[in-house]
Amino acid sequence: GDSVTQMEGPVTLSEEAFLTINCTYTATGYPSLFWYVQYPGEGLQLLLKATKADDKGSNKGFEATYRKETTSFHLEKGSVQVSDSAVYFCALERTNAGKSTFGDGTTLTVKP
């Protein structure tokens, strides 16, 4: 079945540091890939997405590239801020799956 594996957290960085959160997936065909962010006490929000190989999703300074050859969708940001502290979820959805598959989430804490 489909699965998403995220880098284990928690991740703690200093402000302005470079961020990478690894995400790899297992799925047949060509799923769409997503990153969601959950701020404390809130629901998940869609951060970015990519729907085909080599697509790059970007939003709020975050980027992720759909790598079919390595089945990966790593999240990156060049310079994190304290306000980026949140839980980040990687997810996939196949065309006929009926529902998304989520990773377990990675908690990011950014210290001033």
Partner 1 sequence: IAGITQAPTSQILAAGRRMTLRCTQDMRHNAMYWYRQDLGLGLRLIHYSNTAGTTGKGEVPDGYSVSRANTDDFPLTLASAVPSQTSVYFCASSPGQGSPYGYTFGSGTRLTVV
Show the tokens assigned to 32: 């769409």
CB neighbour burial string for 19-56, b if at least 16 within 10 angstroms, e if fewer: bebbbbbebeeebbbbbbbbeeeeebeebbbbeeeeee
Which of 7, 58, 67, 94: binder of partner 1 (CB under 8 A)? Answer: 94
Which of 25, 103, 108, 110: binder of partner 1 (CB under 8 A)? Answer: 103
Q: Which is nearer to partner 1, 11 or 17 (CB)?
A: 11
Which of 5, 22, 24, 32: binder of partner 1 (CB under 8 A)? Answer: 32
> x/- site string to partner 1, residues 42 to 61, per CB under 8 A?
xxxxx--x-x----------
